[in-house]
Each structure stands twice: as structure tokens, then as C-alpha cells.
Amino acid sequence: MTDARRRRTGEALGFWLLLAPSLLLLVLVFARTVAGVVRMSFNGWTPPSFYVEDVVLDHYVRLATDPLIREAAFNTVVLAFQAALTSVVLAYVMTLIVWLRPKRFRLTVIGLMLCPLLASEISIIFGWWLVLPRNGLLSYMLVGSGLVSEKINLLYTEFAAFLGLVYAILPYSFFILLSVMDRQDRLLIEASADLGASPLSTFREVVLPLTWRGVVLAFSQALIWAFGIYATPSALGPDTLWTMGQRIQEEMIGRANWPLASAIAVAMIAAIALLLVVMRTVEPKERTA
Amino acid sequence: MPINSRFTRRSILKHTAQATALLAAPAILGRASLAGAQDSFAGESLIVVSWSGNHEQSFRESVVEPFNEKYGTKVETVGGWDQMIAQIKAAPADNPPFDLTIADEYTTSLGLAENVFLKTDRSGIKGFEAVSPWFDAHRGAARDYGVPFGGGSLWMVASRSSGIGAGSWKGFWDERAKGKTTMDAAAFYWDLCVPAILSDRKPGIDEVFDSPAEVEALFAELDKLQMAKWYSDGAELANILIQETAEIAMVYSADARGFMKEFGETHEIAIPAEGTASYTNWFMKVRGTRHPELSDLFLSYLLEKETQQRFLDNSTDFLSRTDLTPPAHWPDYPTTEEAIAKTFNLFSLKGWDAFGANWDALNDRMKQTIATTSRG
């Protein structure tokens, strides 16, 4: 064996040894659980039991044919895409400001972005319940400032569900983008300006291409989170905003139909996996200055 | 017989062992001997599930804490709703997540199907003689499992400023209530009970257990409502009332006492004159419990008059004993068999069998009702 080959073998061995503990954990905790959910989705169901050991496709057939499940899927996808896109745009602007401003300012913004992560989803929902209704803080502020003449109700609207989701996923987009932005050299902006580029051209030709990979990553993460969160749209949105998360909860807990709940979960996992594959294909190779 | 032959070393050891065994017998064989229970169970823990929210708090204050004080035990109560049977099923058979669980008819039906409850030997539980026969009457073979502590029901909340009052379920259909009512979006079977109580076609809530085509008449009544919001849990209902989004509401007795304390001055909270729909709260011993004797002692404690009176004074659930004194907050609390039967229309195990067969069709139909009646 040549030295080069020996070195390559050693590096590969080291790589797998380093990876082994987390890989083992993933297989034991996640892969095993997901496999259990997949298996459950093929079981039969006879109420009032949770499931009957069997191998049937009934629940997948129902997924494809039940109009209410299709409506829930549509609502989930639309809401998740809107919230993920908005959160990435907002996070990008905030990250850019943090990246360009002095460190003192940076710490304040990072601290603020950490806040939603320190409180539970339920506590945040209670907060929105105080802010958004007709007799809530926002309504009083708008009337007090003279922007509107009558109290307004934003709670139990699609906008409230959207706002709640964006608030919940914004920190994830922000920190992903910040980690990518921090790796870029700020002198490139000065260099671009020295060469006569306008700020807009600098952003379009320099900053955006360098951070595009972060945008794609942040969007995929935000989308995954938005897909999975069910309490926020349920508690803030209108009565008719049925989502897949709610449907899983309803089937799993309320109806005790574990196979159907599992089939919905498997469909969502498959959708997310497909999305990640697509994202990976459009994700550009890393470009650094 | 010479004296030295009567007390040989062997006979002394034998008698000592027998005496020790005799003294230890209550602890070894009959730890549930109530007289010696204070010592036998001191320090032992037990986990009991009660309904999450106000019920859990009342249960902790009125039952669990006095029990621990009396017996020196470490009983805890944890809140649950629909997930208890799933949790037991998911745990190892010999190590359940709790020892006793509360169970209404739906939970009982699920638990029996999954075989996660232990039968109760009623001869080992004191207090059954004082329990209203109404509790066993609709129970069938399931009466072999658990102890009936009491039950819950639907109550009506009406803002005093609405001028409608909580005296009749008809208030939901009052012109003045349009766009100001709220009911449960998730447990929709209870919503159906309201028009069923008002209907004369069948006794009590029996119409709910009909075929979907016949239940349509109840949906048609719900479709006439204009809901401010269909709530999904007690916290959301409280917020809807605080924000004055709705003025007329259907609430569960588990929460009604808390609402009386919070909204008593501005809202009337009562069981309407037509009676109400109800469920019963049985406490079931979970299979695999490592504290069977302490569980039996706790089940006996649940049927004691003092325990039930303390809980009644602190809640709006009804209790299984008929010799209790109506509390100040519920002066017309039914104490006779006739009054119990007239007031509480049970969503029975049989009813669940009938309703369960049509659940999916009715659930889909309910979503139509929500879509047509909701303003929220």
C-alpha cells in the first residue's frame, strides 16, 4: 500500500469513526421511530382499537380521495410556503443590517431573535391572544395613533395564522443566514463600490450570489418548521383553516386512528424529503470570497 | 412434661418465626388493611390521572393532598384528556406511566378494547353502598372495572349584559345571540347533544346515536347558529369570553367552576332547565401497576363521603354518592335518583358504540356546519 493510499484509508476511517456516534443515535432514535410510523400506516383499523396488525393500503387511498384531507394539505402547503418565504426575506434584511452594523447593535438583534426560542409555542400563542383581538393591544394602539377610527380584530384570521408562523420560524432563518453572511468578507462591498458599482448592483452581483446558498438552506429549514407547526395556525387562524398537523392530532388523539394519522405523517415526511432533494439540486456550490 | 422440654431451642425459634409472620401478615398479605394503612403505605408513591385544567386543580386540592396528609403517601395527580390509553399502550406492560386513570365512557370503551384496565374487586372497596345506582345502570359489563367517582356535564354560560340568561339552551338560537355564540369544534358530539336535548323526537340525547341521515336534523339546527368562534379548548374559550368575542357559550363542568370564579359577576353559569348531556368519571386501575394495594386504598378514599363533599364544594362536577349536601355555588344540585336521571342524560357506552360507527361521516358533516356558521 502506498503512503498516499494509506493516508486516504486513515482519513476515511477517521471520518467514519467521528460520524459513528451521531449516526448510531440517528438510527436508534429517529430511523427506528420513522420505520415504526411507516409500518403503522399500513395497519388496519377497527374502532375503538388503535390499530389492527395487517398490511393494507386503505389509509393511503383515503389520503388521495378524502376531500377534507386534500383541503388540509392545500392549506398547509400554501401557508407554509408563504410563511417560509416571508421569514427568509425578513431574516435576510435583518441579517444584512446586523452584518453591516457595529457589534453593539449585532448583540441586541441576536438577543431579540433568541427571544421566541426561549418561550414555548403555547406561551407565544397566549401573547398573540392579547395583541391581536378587537380589544387587544394592537387594536388600541392603532386607534390611539389615529391610523384607524374603529377597533379592529385580527385574531382568528388567516393573517394571524400567517403572522404567528412567521414569528415562530423567523429565528431559524435568521441564524442560518447570519452564519453564512459572517463567512463573507465585507471588504468586497467596498471593492465593488470602488469599482463604481451602485449599492443595488453590489447587492445583486456580489452579496446575493455569495449568500444564495444560505437563502436556500434557510428557506428549506423554515419550510420544514412551518409544515410541522400545528398549534399556532389552529389557535390564531379561522375555524376553517384545517391543516395536516391538526388532522394528525385529530386522528391520533381524538379518533384513535393511529394508522391514518401515521399515513398522513408519512406523506408529510415524504413531501419534505422530496422538497429537500429538489432544494439540493437548485442549491449552488459554495462560493466564498 | 418437664419444663425444659417445653422450651427447646428449636421450639423457641419456631414460635418466634410464627409470631413474626403473624405480626407481619397485614403488611405482607393484606397491606390494604385500612386500619393499619397509615403505616403500611407511608412514603409510597402513586400517579393518578385527572382531567387537565380546573378539574385537576380541584382534584389535587380536595382529594390528593388530604389523602397524602392522612396516609403519609406521595400520591400525585397529572392532567390528561384523550391520550391516557395511548400512553398506557405505548409503555411497557409491566411499567405503566400511571397507576390509576380517570375514564369517561369514551376512554373506558377504548381502554377495554385495548385491555389496559384491571378488574375491581368491589368487596375490597368501601363505599359502594352509598353510590347512586344510576352509575351502574348504563354500564353493562364495564361495571366490573373501576370506581365511579362522579361525572361531568355541559353547562351554559351567558353574559348578563346579553339579557339571554343560562336558563335554557334555546338561548343559543335567540336573535340577540347571533354572531355571539361559541361551542366546541373538536368534541362536536357534545354540540349535537344541545339540539337533541331540545328536540322532542326521542328522549334525552338519544337522537345523537341515530344514523347520519337522522342526525342531519340536529346539524340543521346547528346550521341556524352564527358562531363568533368554534373553540378548540378551555383556554381558547376563556380568551373568547375575556375578549367579549362571544357572550353565550357551552362549557364543560370540569371548567365551569373556574369560570364561575373568573366570570361569575358578569356571566350567568348554570345547567339549563331542560337538563344536560353528561359523562361519568370512573377511576380505573391500570394493568401492570406496581402499587395495587395503595390503588385500592385510594379508590376507597374516592368513595368516602368527606372526600366527595370536599370535591363537590370545589367543583361543578356531580359526584356518585347521593348523601351529599348541595354546595353554595350549586344550590339545585340533584341529590335524588329521579333528579339525577332527569338532569343528566348520559352519553353511554352503548351510545358510543352507535356514534362511533358513524363518526367519520358525522365529523365530515360537522366541518360543513363549522364552515357555514363560523364568523371566526
CA distance A18 to A11: 10
State the average pLDDT over residues A275-288: 75
Which positions 271-310 of B are in contact with A (Cβ < 8 Å)? none
Q: For B136-149, what is each residue's pLDDT tens digit?
A: 999 999 999 999 99
pLDDT at res. B28: 39
pLDDT band of B3, cuts 50, 70, 90: very low
CA distance A244 to A76: 6
- Residues of chain A with pLDDT > 70, as a percent, come to 98
B140: left (phi over 0), alpha (psi -120 to 50) or beta: left
List, in order of start, the domains of chain A with CATH numbers.
66-282 (1.10.3720.10)
> A202-238 burial, b for 16+ CB within 10 Å, e for fewer?
bbeebbeebbbbbbbbbbbbbbbbbbbbbbbbbbbbb
Dump strand ranges (E) for A172-272. none
- How many angstroms separate the CA of residue B141 from the nearest CA in chain A? 16
pLDDT band of B128, cuts 50, 70, 90: very high
pLDDT band of B11, cuts 50, 70, 90: low
- With 70 as the cut, is the pLDDT of residue B77 above it? yes
The three grid cell numbers given for residue B255, joined into one nine-digit string? 371548567
Q: Which residue has the cell 397524602?
A: B68
Q: For A47-59, what is each residue's pLDDT tens digit?
A: 989 999 999 999 9
Q: For B210-268, what is each residue's pLDDT tens digit?
A: 999 999 999 999 999 999 999 998 889 999 999 999 999 999 999 999 999 999 999 99
CB-closest option in B113, B229, B245 to A239: B229
pLDDT at res. B25: 40
CA A161 to chain CA centroid, Å, is: 14
CB-closest option in B85, B114, B236 to A235: B236
CB contact under 8 A, A256 and B185: no
Instruction: Check if B244 contacts A (Cβ < 8 Å).
Output: yes
- With 80 as the cut, is the pLDDT of residue A288 above it? no
Q: For A77-132, what is each residue's pLDDT tens digit?
A: 999 999 999 999 999 999 999 998 877 888 888 999 999 899 999 999 999 999 99
Q: Which of B189, B225, B245, B362 to mutate to test the interface with A (most CBs of A within 10 A)?
A: B245
Q: By CB neighbour count within 10 A (0-12 exposed, 13-18 middle, 19+ buried), where does A193 fall? A: middle
- With 50 as the cut, is the pLDDT of residue B1 above it? no
Q: Tell me what the pLDDT averaged over chain B comes to.
A: 91
- With 90 as the cut, is the pLDDT of residue B33 above it? no
What residues are paired with B119 via a beta bridge? B145
CB contact under 8 A, A254 and B187: yes
Report yes or no: B155 and B270 within 8 Å, Cβ to Cβ: yes
Listed in sequence order, the DSSP H helices in A146-196 are 158-181, 187-194
List, in order of start, the domains of chain B with CATH numbers.
9-151+278-338 (3.40.190.10), 154-277+353-373 (3.40.190.10)
pLDDT at res. B15: 56
pLDDT at res. B260: 94
Strands B74-80 and B45-51, by their bridges, are parallel
- With 90 as the cut, is the pLDDT of residue B175 above it? yes
CA angle B87, B139, B315 (to 5 degrees): 70
pLDDT at res. B187: 94
Q: Which residues contact A238 (CB under 8 A, 6 or more apart)?
A: A156, A157, A158, A161, B374, B376
Q: By CB neighbour count within 10 A (0-12 exposed, 13-18 middle, 19+ buried), where does B297 fall? A: buried
- How many angstroms separate the CA of residue B243 from the nearest CA in chain A? 6
CB contact under 8 A, A48 and B367: no
CB contact under 8 A, A239 and B185: yes
Highest mean pLDDT among A135-144, A226-235, B123-132, B271-280: B271-280
Nearest CA to B188 among B373, B5, B324?
A: B373
Listed in sequence order, the DSSP H helices in B264-330 are 292-302, 305-313
pLDDT at res. A2: 77
**Residue B207 amino acid letter:** E
What residues are paired with B267 via a beta bridge? B159
- For chains A and B, what is the number of CB pairs under 8 angstroms? 69
Q: How many CB atoms sit inside 10 A of residue B185's CB?
A: 22
What residues are paired with B159 via a beta bridge? B267
pLDDT at res. A60: 97
pLDDT at res. B20: 45
State the average pLDDT over residues A123-150: 93
Instruction: Please list every residue in chain B whose beta carbon sits closer than 8 Å to the beta carbon of residue A254.
Output: 82, 186-187
pLDDT at res. B40: 85
* Among B87-91, B219-223, B305-309, the least confident range: B87-91
> B99-136 burial, b for 16+ CB within 10 Å, e for fewer?
bbbbbbbbbbbbbbebebbbebeeeebbbbeebbebbe
Element (H, E) at B74: strand B74-80
Residue A243 is given by DSSP the state: -
Instruction: Check if B155 contacts A (Cβ < 8 Å).
Output: no
- With 50 as the cut, is the pLDDT of residue B21 above it? no
- How many angstroms separate the CA of residue B53 from the nearest CA in chain A? 15
The three grid cell numbers given for residue A207, joined into one nine-digit string? 452579496
Report yes or no: B139 and B349 within 8 Å, Cβ to Cβ: yes
pLDDT band of B37, cuts 50, 70, 90: low
pLDDT at res. B12: 52
CB contact under 8 A, A253 and B236: no
CB contact under 8 A, B86 and A68: no
Which positions 60-99 of B are in contact with A (Cβ < 8 Å)? 81-83, 85-86, 89
pLDDT at res. B2: 40
- With 60 as the cut, is the pLDDT of residue B67 above it? yes
Q: Which residue has the cell 393494507?
A: A56
Instruction: Check if B359 contacts A (Cβ < 8 Å).
Output: yes
Instruction: Please list every residue in chain B whose beta carbon sits closer than 8 Å to the beta carbon of residue A136.
Output: 243
Report yes or no: B232 and B186 within 8 Å, Cβ to Cβ: yes
Q: Which of B105, B232, B362, B372 to mutate to test the interface with A (most CBs of A within 10 A)?
A: B232
pLDDT at res. A161: 97
pLDDT band of B39, cuts 50, 70, 90: confident
Residue A227: φ, ψ to 5°:
-65, -40
Q: Is the ipTM of this complex over 0.85?
A: no
pLDDT band of A258, cuts 50, 70, 90: very high
- With 60 as the cut, is the pLDDT of residue B66 above it? yes
State the average pLDDT over residues A1-23: 87
pLDDT band of A284, cuts 50, 70, 90: low
pLDDT at res. B53: 87
- With 90 as the cut, is the pLDDT of residue A281 above it? no
Element (H, E) at A86: helix A67-100
In order of A70, A247, B309, the CA distances from A75 in angstroms are 9, 12, 49
Q: For B332-359, what is each residue's pLDDT tens digit?
A: 999 999 999 999 999 999 999 999 999 9
Instruction: Please list every residue in chain B whose beta carbon sits closer than 8 Å to the beta carbon of residue A50.
Output: 85-86, 89, 110, 114
- With 80 as the cut, is the pLDDT of residue A7 above it? yes
Q: Which long-range contacts (CB under 8 A, 24 or more apart) does A50-55 make?
A: A50/A256, A50/A257, A50/A258, A50/B85, A50/B86, A50/B89, A50/B110, A50/B114, A51/A258, A51/A259
